Amino acid sequence: MNIFKLILRNLSYYKKKNLALALGVAISAAILTGALIVGDSVKYSLNRIVAQRLGNVTHVLKSGDRYFTSDLAGKMSQNLNIPVSGLLVSNGSAVADGGQKRIPNVQILGVDENFDILAGTENFYEELGADEVILSTNLANRLGVSVGEDILIRMTKASLIPLNAPFVSDDENIVSSRLKVKDLAGTEQMGMFNLKNSQTAPFNAFVSKDFLSVLMEFENKSNLLLLSGNSNTETIKDALKKVWSVEDAGIILTTSENSTEIDAGSERVFIDDAIAGVLKNIPQLKFPVFSYFVNSLNTKTASTPYSFVSTIPDKSLEDTEVIINEWLAADLKISKGDTINIEYFVVGPLRALKEDSVSLRVKLVVAPEGYFADKNLMPNLPGLSDAGSCSDWESGVPIDLKAIRDKDEEYWNKYKGTPKAFISFSLATKLWINRFGSYTAFRYSSEEISKEELARVIIENLEPEKLGFQIENVREKGEFAAGNGVDFGELFGGLSFFLLMGGILLTVLLFLLNLENRKDQLQTLSTLGIPLNRIRKMMLSEGMAIAFLGSVAGIFLAILYNELIFSALNGVWKDIVRSDMMVVHIQPETIVKGFLLTLLVSFLTIVFPLNRFLKTKLAKYKKGKEKLSGGKRWISLSIASITGFTGIALIISQFFRNEIINSTVFFAAGGLLLISGIYAFHYLISGERNKSLKNFSLEHLSWNNTFRNKMRSLSIVLLFAIGTFLVISTGSNKKDLFVNANDLSSGTGGFLYFAESTIPVLHDLNDPAVKFDFGFENNYSFVQLRKFEGDDASCLNLNKISNPGILGVNPETLQSRFKFVTKTPYLDESDPWLSLNQDLPGNAIPAIADETVIKWGLGLKVGDSLEYLNSEGESMQLLLIGGLAPSIFQGSVLISNKYFLEQFPQNSGTHTFLIEGNSIDTAEISSEINNGMRDLGWDMNLSANRLAEFNSVTNTYLSIFLVLGALGLLLGTIGLAIVLFRSILERKQEIALFRAIGFSKTKIRKHIIIEYMILLLTGIVIGFISAVIATLPSILSPNTEVSFSFIVLLLIILLLNALLWTFGLATVALKDSSIVQALRNE
């Protein structure tokens, strides 16, 4: 005989009980390992999505709103010796079924044969012909089209010039084309190509780059480079610096007509400060040029319409003087010394035109010769410089064609846009400086420097980053974002907490039940001199052997549990993953981890009750007198008092403070009261039972029985108190998705609609003229927001986001709207939105975001900063000065337009819109706006719906918690059944005695049921009261809808369930044979 043999005997003899215990362990193993597998699977799925959306791409070169030459791809490839593909990318919408199906936010990707290498395909994209398109499968599905069918693609027309730059025509900034679907690109063909860190598949339409260039009316241009290789970002930067050219920077070098000067201009008309900074410092510089298109040059009696005015090369003019050519002098009939008035437009944000004028004294009248006859002084303005006649002019400013006379046409035919007037450079800068630049050209002496040498010097001194060229290791970033995103392992670990507790409790109770059954045996072993340690080891080994089997079984259960969770995540719980591409991924190390973790949990679950059992039941050989269990009563009273008073004090403090109700404080108070209630109950039952015989009855006996086995009574109360607390607090936090959506302080800000356009809106939509153009007749208004693209940091994105999109807003338009829940001293409480305009120390930019985005999406808190690169490649810090209650802005960070345009001066137009209108007219408003904006890739939703979509994520999490919590509670009730079974087993003799002395079965059953109902109701009442207090802010909040009926139903089910167990077990215990056996034992 040896211990091992004895353990085997025990395992085999008590197999049924051991199997039950193994099942308890298996449940815990399934929950623990299941949570780990969920975590791994989501992480794996996100990483798989990174691989699917990037194919072989490792790095990208983005150029902001600039276009570089397509040759750059080849040069980069040659220099780095890696595959590089240049893309021409635009955004647009896809239309099918005669306009019935319209999908906005489609990436239009102009690709060439090199794209195949990056996508890992062979001749898939290479053979794309004109008028052909390859659609991503999800887009084809949404459009309901298949190969061979036609669709219409409508997209932003690429423009080399920023769309909101002065004098740029916006008449044709949309192009459309009917295309035949050549093929469908699935994940194998990189159909999900996306540079954003998101698990949601984008809509992609792949077309031939050459064909797209034709549509955009330019040649040999790209705006995105995809690279594939192990090179680091710095190496790629170095390569770019080596191989890029002035053409890539958008600089045009031309030799003047007289060949004495080289003109350095920009294809963007106005020369950016970064380029200007280099150009003006080249020693061979002769002079800068600033030319501007003016509305008229006039005197009191005559007027010459629409002319160019330029600057003179030297400083011979005062800011009050002007030189005019002879043609103008003749036209206006003026001469030296006369005064001339120049009227011109200044273009503000959203193309708001302001006419201004200046009066100058004519210093000189010159012949149209030499510099004064230089047609190249007119910048290259599409719509103007390429027009055959004045009547063909298309510019971004209104032109009154009737004002154009024949002589103006003649001038145009003879001199094109040769300036008619010349002012000093300093005056031109004062009058016409704008965010796009303050120069239109620089002139160099061709005798001192050749064009090639000038190009070399420019490139040598110009940093690509300064122009917004950014190289990103998208693969690394994507993998980081996927690897550090929402940890579903932890999340499901947390969500399954109560289920795990249920499993552990079940294991503990089953183990204790086993120990209880074998108490006599263990006492015998102790009496026979088997040391307590050896008994402990034996029982522990036995327990761990069972735990081992349970853990193995639990792994299979975990896989099953995971399959269920994933079918829910890809189905009913899709709201939290926003993708149907989640797959179960089982890693051997996770299984081992889960297995070992379960063994550890089992060990802890077994070792503590075992020690306690051996200590209390076997190790009686104590020094001195036995202590009674009530000795620690005062500890319970102290804990109950401290937690109770602290909880109440917290609640009172909240009512006396006039600030925002802090839900965390209430939850803490509720939690403290729960602890207080449980300890108060422990204090109560640790005291003396009622010995009064005045009202001696069965009920009296039932009440006294709760005092008899304190641990049993406490476990039942504890179980039901925590269960009730969790169920009610979870249920109370569910958000009503549409309550009070019209309130200004709600998450919609009182706006009726939230809209986004794929193609930017360049005009002020509140301008009556613009409204008229779009056909808006109803009474509604727009708040337009600028957008800097970033990743979506809302709860819809599972990836770790560090640079969410930035929205630029005029803070005044949001005054008194939305609700702030966290603030810093920089947030003015009376006018929080206006705080966005303030100047902060260290040039930080004030920013506001949803508190949930700050906390969960970014892992930050108010007062922290976000770092971005602005359009000049310089670092900018956004200081989060306040956090909003959940709002329609979730996913983005808001800054003032003042700072937005400072940092992204060339950003054109608005992409995000808030629409305020009467909620009664939603159908009419929707139809009108959708009609007017449909060509812009318009995507408009009721603000309440958008908010509901975000809230649905929270609600889904709560639902999962509720479902898993309810499962846990169910397990808990099985535990309760075990507790009941154990106590009824202990009391068989007592029941037998009742029967023997003539009590009816009904009466005894009633006695047992009353006894346990006292405990159940005590638990439920403690849990209910503390949960109501914990969730008081939610219950009182107008934005939550507490489903009391659901909660009551759940509690009734729990009570009935417990009642059923009590009834059933009492009935079993009252069976005659069982009673006879008990009596015989007595």
CB closer to other proteins out of 530 and 1079? 530
Distance, in Å, from the CA atom of 418 to the CA atom of 412, rounded to the nearest integer, reads 8
Q: How far is CA 697 from CA 109, 308, 332, 988, in A?
A: 85, 109, 119, 20
- Closest approach of Cβ 720 to other proteins, in Å? 29
Q: How far is the CB of 16 from other proteins (least distance, A)?
A: 13
Q: Give the residue carrying structure tokens 């620089």.
A: 442
Dist CA 30 CA 493 (whole Å): 11
Q: Which two tokens stand for residue 498?
A: 């109560």
Q: How far is the CB of 1060 from other proteins (least distance, A)?
A: 32
Looking at beta carbons only, is 633 or 898 nearer to other proteins? Answer: 633
Q: What tokens appear for 19 in the block?
A: 């199997």
Q: Select 542 or 850, whichever has its Cβ closest to other proteins.
A: 542
In the complex, what is the shortest distance from the CB of residue 530 to other proteins, in angstroms, rounded to a whole number? Answer: 6
- Find the shortest distance in angstroms from Cβ 520 to other proteins: 6
For 571, the 3-state DSSP assignment is coil
Q: How far is the CB of 859 from other proteins (least distance, A)?
A: 53
Closest CA to 24 of 975, 976, 982: 975
CA dist 923 and 904 (Å) reads: 36
Nearest Cα to Cα of residue 940 among 957, 915, 965: 915
Does residue 865 contact residue 835 with C-beta atoms inside 8 Å?
A: no
Binding site for other proteins (CB under 8 A): 1-3, 5-6, 9-10, 12-14, 520-521, 523-532, 534, 620-626, 628, 630, 688
Kindly tell me the burial class for residue 264, based on how many C-beta atoms sit within 10 Å of its own C-beta (0-12, 13-18, 19 or more).
buried
**Nearer to other proteins (CB atom), residue 529 or residue 588:** 529
Minimum distance, C-beta of residue 534 to other proteins, in the bound complex (Å): 7
To other proteins, the closest distance from the beta carbon of 628 in angstroms equals 6
Take residue 686 and report the two structure tokens written for it: 């640790």
Shortest Å, Cβ 514 to other proteins: 13
Pairwise CA distance, residues 563 & 568, whole Å: 8
Closest alpha carbon to 527 in 399, 461, 619: 619
| In the complex, least distance from residue 525 CB atom to other proteins, rounded to whole angstroms | 7
Q: Cα separation of 378 and 384, whole Å?
A: 10
Instruction: Give the phi and the psi of residue 357 in degrees, each rounded to 5.
Output: -150, 165
Nearer to other proteins by Cβ, of 17 and 101: the residue is 17
Would you say 525 or 584 has its CB closer to other proteins?
A: 525
Distance, CA of 594 to CA of 494 (rounded, Å): 15
**Shortest spacing between CB 980 and other proteins, in angstroms:** 25
Which residue in 1065, 1066, 1082, 1056 sits closest to 999, CA to CA? 1066
Report the sign of the C-alpha dihedral through residues 156, 160, 166, 170, in that order.
Answer: negative
Burial letters 105-136, b for 16+ CB under 10 A, else e: ebbbbbbbebbbbbbebeebbeebeeebbbbb
Instruction: Please identify, using beta-carbon distances, which residue of 1 and 920 lies nearer to other proteins.
Output: 1
Q: Give 525 or 962: the residue with its C-beta nearer to other proteins.
A: 525
Q: How many CA atoms lie within 13 Å of 252's alpha carbon, on the beta-carbon side?
A: 15
CB of 545 to other proteins, least distance (A): 15
Three-point CA angle 725, 726, 728, nearest 5°:
70
Instruction: Name the minimum Å distance from CB 684 to other proteins.
Output: 15
Q: Return the number of the residue (431 or 538) whose C-beta is nearest other proteins.
A: 538
Q: How far is the CB of 1025 from other proteins (least distance, A)?
A: 31
CB of 961 to other proteins, least distance (A): 43
Please tell me the distance from the alpha carbon of residue 504 to that of residue 957, in angstroms, as a whole number: 23
798: closest CA among 489, 507, 546, 544?
A: 489
Q: Are strands 421-423 and 441-445 parallel, antiparallel or unpaired?
A: unpaired
- The whole-angstrom distance between residue 302's C-alpha and the CA centroid of its chain comes to 61
Which has the closest alpha carbon to 463: 905, 870, 906, 873? 873
**Least distance in angstroms from the C-beta of 540 to other proteins:** 15
Which DSSP string do the residues of 764-798 spell out, in sequence order? -TTSHHHHHHHT--SS-EEEEEEEE--B--STT--
Q: For residues 1001 and 569, give the distance between their C-alpha atoms in angstroms, rounded to a whole number.
A: 50
The closest alpha carbon to 330, from 309, 311, 306, 304, belongs to 304
Q: CB-based contacts of 246: which residues, under 8 Å, 6+ apart?
A: 252, 253, 455, 458, 459
For other proteins, the closer CB: 3 or 744: 3
Nearer to other proteins, 528 or 693 (CB): 528
**624: left (phi > 0), else alpha (psi -120 to 50), else beta?**
left
Measured CA to CA, the distance from residue 270 to residue 437 in angstroms comes to 5
Instruction: Judge whether 566 and 628 are in contact, CB under 8 Å.
Output: no
- Minimum CB separation from other proteins for residue 623, in Å? 6
CB nearer other proteins, residue 393 or residue 511: 511
CB of 685 to other proteins, least distance (A): 14
- CA neighbor of 65 nearest in space, from 478, 470, 475, 472: 470
